[in-house]
Chain A
Amino acid sequence: MSTKLVYFAWVRERIGKPEEEITVPADVVTVRDLLNHLKSLGEEYENALQYPEVIRVAIDQEHVEHSEKIAGAREIGIFPPMTGG
Protein backbone atom coordinates (compact mmCIF):
# COMPACT_ATOMS: atom_id res chain seq x y z
CA MET A 1 0.00 0.00 0.00
CA SER A 2 1.33 3.44 -0.96
CA THR A 3 0.38 6.35 1.32
CA LYS A 4 1.10 10.07 1.38
CA LEU A 5 2.65 11.27 4.63
CA VAL A 6 2.63 14.96 5.58
CA TYR A 7 4.73 16.40 8.39
CA PHE A 8 4.41 19.65 10.34
CA ALA A 9 6.39 21.86 12.74
CA TRP A 10 9.39 20.17 14.40
CA VAL A 11 8.45 16.75 13.01
CA ARG A 12 8.80 18.26 9.51
CA GLU A 13 12.05 20.04 10.39
CA ARG A 14 13.66 16.96 11.93
CA ILE A 15 12.65 14.61 9.11
CA GLY A 16 13.78 17.27 6.64
CA LYS A 17 10.82 17.26 4.22
CA PRO A 18 7.20 18.38 4.31
CA GLU A 19 5.73 15.28 2.69
CA GLU A 20 6.51 12.01 0.94
CA GLU A 21 4.89 8.91 -0.52
CA ILE A 22 5.90 5.69 1.17
CA THR A 23 5.12 2.06 0.58
CA VAL A 24 3.74 0.66 3.81
CA PRO A 25 4.90 -2.91 4.60
CA ALA A 26 2.11 -5.45 5.06
CA ASP A 27 2.84 -5.94 8.76
CA VAL A 28 2.27 -2.24 9.51
CA VAL A 29 -1.38 -2.20 10.59
CA THR A 30 -1.92 0.63 13.08
CA VAL A 31 -0.70 4.19 13.53
CA ARG A 32 1.59 2.90 16.29
CA ASP A 33 3.10 0.34 13.87
CA LEU A 34 3.62 3.09 11.30
CA LEU A 35 5.48 5.35 13.75
CA ASN A 36 7.72 2.44 14.75
CA HIS A 37 8.35 1.60 11.09
CA LEU A 38 9.28 5.21 10.28
CA LYS A 39 11.71 5.28 13.22
CA SER A 40 13.64 2.48 11.52
CA LEU A 41 14.12 4.47 8.29
CA GLY A 42 17.06 6.55 9.49
CA GLU A 43 18.51 8.91 12.03
CA GLU A 44 16.32 11.87 11.02
CA TYR A 45 13.16 9.80 11.55
CA GLU A 46 14.50 8.40 14.82
CA ASN A 47 15.16 11.98 15.89
CA ALA A 48 11.68 13.21 14.98
CA LEU A 49 9.80 10.25 16.46
CA GLN A 50 11.99 9.51 19.46
CA TYR A 51 9.02 9.90 21.82
CA PRO A 52 6.11 8.50 19.80
CA GLU A 53 3.68 8.97 22.70
CA VAL A 54 3.74 12.76 22.19
CA ILE A 55 3.23 12.56 18.42
CA ARG A 56 -0.24 13.39 17.06
CA VAL A 57 -1.58 11.73 13.94
CA ALA A 58 -4.43 12.53 11.56
CA ILE A 59 -5.80 10.19 8.91
CA ASP A 60 -7.38 12.00 5.96
CA GLN A 61 -7.27 15.19 8.04
CA GLU A 62 -9.05 13.85 11.14
CA HIS A 63 -7.36 13.23 14.50
CA VAL A 64 -6.92 9.54 15.36
CA GLU A 65 -5.54 7.49 18.25
CA HIS A 66 -2.35 5.48 17.84
CA SER A 67 -4.41 2.28 17.95
CA GLU A 68 -6.30 3.29 14.77
CA LYS A 69 -5.82 1.08 11.69
CA ILE A 70 -4.27 2.86 8.72
CA ALA A 71 -5.71 0.66 5.95
CA GLY A 72 -7.33 2.79 3.25
CA ALA A 73 -5.74 6.06 4.40
CA ARG A 74 -5.03 8.46 1.53
CA GLU A 75 -3.08 10.97 3.63
CA ILE A 76 -1.55 10.59 7.07
CA GLY A 77 -0.49 13.74 8.94
CA ILE A 78 2.20 13.42 11.62
CA PHE A 79 2.88 16.37 13.93
CA PRO A 80 3.62 17.58 17.48
CA PRO A 81 0.92 18.69 19.95
CA MET A 82 -0.82 21.79 18.63
CA THR A 83 0.03 25.27 19.88
CA GLY A 84 -2.29 27.60 17.99
CA GLY A 85 -4.70 30.20 19.32
Chain B
Amino acid sequence: MIVEPRIQVQSQDFDLQSEIDTVTAGRKNIGAVVTFSGLCRDEHGALSALELEHYPGMAEAEMRRIAEIAIERFSLLGLTAVHRYGKIMPGENIVLVVAAAPHRQAAFDGASFMMDFLKTSAPFWKKEHAADGTARDWVAAKDADDTARDKWR
Protein backbone atom coordinates (compact mmCIF):
# COMPACT_ATOMS: atom_id res chain seq x y z
CA MET B 1 0.00 0.00 0.00
CA ILE B 2 1.34 3.42 -0.93
CA VAL B 3 1.02 6.03 1.82
CA GLU B 4 0.75 9.57 0.49
CA PRO B 5 1.96 12.32 2.82
CA ARG B 6 -0.26 15.33 3.43
CA ILE B 7 1.80 18.51 2.99
CA GLN B 8 0.46 21.99 3.67
CA VAL B 9 2.20 25.36 3.48
CA GLN B 10 -0.22 28.04 4.60
CA SER B 11 -0.53 31.38 6.37
CA GLN B 12 -3.51 30.39 8.50
CA ASP B 13 -3.37 28.42 11.73
CA PHE B 14 -3.98 24.68 11.88
CA ASP B 15 -6.04 22.53 14.23
CA LEU B 16 -4.24 19.60 15.86
CA GLN B 17 -7.30 17.47 16.46
CA SER B 18 -8.64 17.80 12.92
CA GLU B 19 -5.19 17.01 11.49
CA ILE B 20 -5.02 13.86 13.66
CA ASP B 21 -8.56 12.92 12.59
CA THR B 22 -7.61 13.29 8.92
CA VAL B 23 -4.77 10.78 9.40
CA THR B 24 -6.75 8.23 11.43
CA ALA B 25 -10.24 8.46 9.90
CA GLY B 26 -11.53 5.02 8.88
CA ARG B 27 -8.25 3.29 9.73
CA LYS B 28 -7.99 0.25 12.01
CA ASN B 29 -4.30 -0.60 11.65
CA ILE B 30 -2.89 2.52 13.34
CA GLY B 31 -1.71 1.86 16.90
CA ALA B 32 0.32 5.03 17.47
CA VAL B 33 0.03 8.67 16.51
CA VAL B 34 2.79 11.11 17.42
CA THR B 35 2.26 14.84 16.91
CA PHE B 36 4.87 17.54 17.15
CA SER B 37 3.95 21.19 17.07
CA GLY B 38 6.42 24.05 17.05
CA LEU B 39 5.31 27.41 18.50
CA CYS B 40 6.63 30.95 18.41
CA ARG B 41 8.46 31.92 21.65
CA ASP B 42 8.77 35.51 22.88
CA GLU B 43 12.37 34.90 24.10
CA HIS B 44 11.59 36.18 27.63
CA GLY B 45 9.65 39.17 26.36
CA ALA B 46 12.21 40.29 23.76
CA LEU B 47 10.19 39.37 20.66
CA SER B 48 6.83 40.63 19.43
CA ALA B 49 6.62 38.31 16.41
CA LEU B 50 8.43 36.10 13.95
CA GLU B 51 8.19 36.68 10.23
CA LEU B 52 8.35 33.43 8.27
CA GLU B 53 9.50 33.64 4.66
CA HIS B 54 9.39 30.66 2.31
CA TYR B 55 10.25 29.64 -1.25
CA PRO B 56 6.81 28.94 -2.75
CA GLY B 57 6.71 25.65 -4.60
CA MET B 58 10.09 24.46 -3.37
CA ALA B 59 8.95 24.51 0.28
CA GLU B 60 6.12 22.07 -0.47
CA ALA B 61 8.31 19.95 -2.76
CA GLU B 62 11.09 19.64 -0.21
CA MET B 63 8.68 18.77 2.63
CA ARG B 64 7.09 16.13 0.40
CA ARG B 65 10.49 14.67 -0.51
CA ILE B 66 11.45 14.35 3.20
CA ALA B 67 8.02 12.94 4.10
CA GLU B 68 8.24 10.24 1.42
CA ILE B 69 11.65 9.16 2.76
CA ALA B 70 10.24 9.05 6.32
CA ILE B 71 7.21 6.97 5.25
CA GLU B 72 9.46 4.47 3.51
CA ARG B 73 12.13 4.31 6.22
CA PHE B 74 9.78 3.90 9.21
CA SER B 75 6.90 2.12 7.40
CA LEU B 76 4.52 4.88 8.47
CA LEU B 77 0.79 4.53 7.87
CA GLY B 78 0.25 8.28 7.69
CA LEU B 79 2.33 11.45 7.75
CA THR B 80 1.18 15.06 7.75
CA ALA B 81 3.40 18.13 7.79
CA VAL B 82 1.99 21.66 7.98
CA HIS B 83 4.20 24.78 7.99
CA ARG B 84 2.93 28.34 8.31
CA TYR B 85 4.39 31.48 6.75
CA GLY B 86 3.87 35.19 7.36
CA LYS B 87 3.80 37.02 10.68
CA ILE B 88 3.38 34.72 13.68
CA MET B 89 2.88 35.98 17.24
CA PRO B 90 4.37 34.44 20.40
CA GLY B 91 2.21 31.53 21.52
CA GLU B 92 0.97 30.80 18.00
CA ASN B 93 1.67 27.66 16.01
CA ILE B 94 4.42 27.54 13.37
CA VAL B 95 4.75 23.91 12.34
CA LEU B 96 2.95 20.60 12.81
CA VAL B 97 3.96 17.00 12.14
CA VAL B 98 1.57 14.07 12.62
CA ALA B 99 3.12 10.60 12.20
CA ALA B 100 1.07 7.40 12.40
CA ALA B 101 2.33 3.82 12.60
CA PRO B 102 1.30 0.42 13.98
CA HIS B 103 3.58 0.90 17.03
CA ARG B 104 4.96 3.87 18.93
CA GLN B 105 8.68 3.74 18.08
CA ALA B 106 8.13 4.17 14.35
CA ALA B 107 5.69 7.03 14.98
CA PHE B 108 8.16 8.83 17.31
CA ASP B 109 11.06 8.27 14.90
CA GLY B 110 9.03 9.32 11.86
CA ALA B 111 7.97 12.60 13.46
CA SER B 112 11.50 13.31 14.73
CA PHE B 113 13.11 12.51 11.36
CA MET B 114 10.60 14.72 9.56
CA MET B 115 11.35 17.68 11.84
CA ASP B 116 15.13 17.24 11.78
CA PHE B 117 15.23 17.31 7.98
CA LEU B 118 12.54 19.96 7.62
CA LYS B 119 14.56 22.36 9.78
CA THR B 120 17.75 21.94 7.77
CA SER B 121 16.47 21.57 4.21
CA ALA B 122 12.94 22.95 3.76
CA PRO B 123 13.32 26.53 2.44
CA PHE B 124 11.89 28.64 5.28
CA TRP B 125 13.57 31.55 7.06
CA LYS B 126 12.66 33.30 10.32
CA LYS B 127 13.08 37.01 10.97
CA GLU B 128 12.63 38.37 14.48
CA HIS B 129 10.53 41.44 15.35
CA ALA B 130 11.62 43.03 18.64
CA ALA B 131 9.08 43.85 21.35
CA ASP B 132 10.54 47.37 21.75
CA GLY B 133 10.17 48.13 18.04
CA THR B 134 13.90 48.07 17.29
CA ALA B 135 15.02 46.12 14.28
CA ARG B 136 16.21 42.59 14.85
CA ASP B 137 17.80 40.28 12.40
CA TRP B 138 17.28 37.00 10.66
CA VAL B 139 17.59 33.96 12.88
CA ALA B 140 20.96 32.24 12.33
CA ALA B 141 21.06 28.56 11.45
CA LYS B 142 22.25 26.39 14.35
CA ASP B 143 24.96 23.72 14.18
CA ALA B 144 22.85 21.70 16.63
CA ASP B 145 20.19 21.34 13.93
CA ASP B 146 22.75 19.87 11.52
CA THR B 147 23.91 17.50 14.26
CA ALA B 148 20.31 16.41 14.92
CA ARG B 149 19.85 15.70 11.21
CA ASP B 150 23.15 13.86 10.86
CA LYS B 151 22.31 11.32 13.56
CA TRP B 152 19.87 9.73 11.06
CA ARG B 153 22.66 8.90 8.58
A residues whose Cβ falls under 8 Å from a Cβ of B: 6, 8-10, 58, 61-63, 77, 79-85
- Provided the pairs A8-B123, A9-B125, A63-B121 are in contact, do residues A83 and B140 lie with their beta carbons within 8 angstroms? yes
With A9-B127, A58-B55, A61-B57 known as contacts, the answer to whether A82 contacts B138 (CB < 8 A) is: no
| CB nearest neighbor in A for B36 | A85
**Main secondary structure on B side of the interface with A:** mixed
Interface readout for B19-34 with A: 1 if CB under 8 Å, 0 if not? 0000000000000000
- Please indicate which of the listed interface residues A9, A81, A83 has the most CB atoms of chain B within 10 Å of its own CB: A83
Q: Is the CB of A61 within 8 A of B118?
A: no
Interface size class of B (residues with CB under 8 A): 20 to 34
Across-interface contacts of A62 in B (CB, < 8 A): 58, 61
**B94 surroundings in chain A (CB, below 8 A):** 85
CB distance from B35 to the nearest CB of A (A): 14
Interfacial chain B residues near A82, Cβ < 8 Å = 119-125, 141
Taking a contact as CB atoms closer than 8 A, the residue among A9, A61, A77, A84 that contacts B119 in the complex is: A84
Name the distance in Å between B24's Cβ and chain A's nearest Cβ.
Answer: 24
As a 0/1 sequence over residues 105 to 135 of chain B, the CB contacts with chain A under 8 angstroms (1 = contact) are 0000000000100111111111100000000
Whether B115 pairs with A81 at a CB distance below 8 angstroms is no
CB pair B95–A84 under 8 Å, yes or no, is yes
Most B Cβ at <10 Å: residue of A10, A80, A84: A84
Count chain B CB atoms within 10 A of each CB in A6, A8, A85 and give the residue with the most.
Answer: A85
Q: Is B52 an interface residue (CB 8 A)?
A: yes
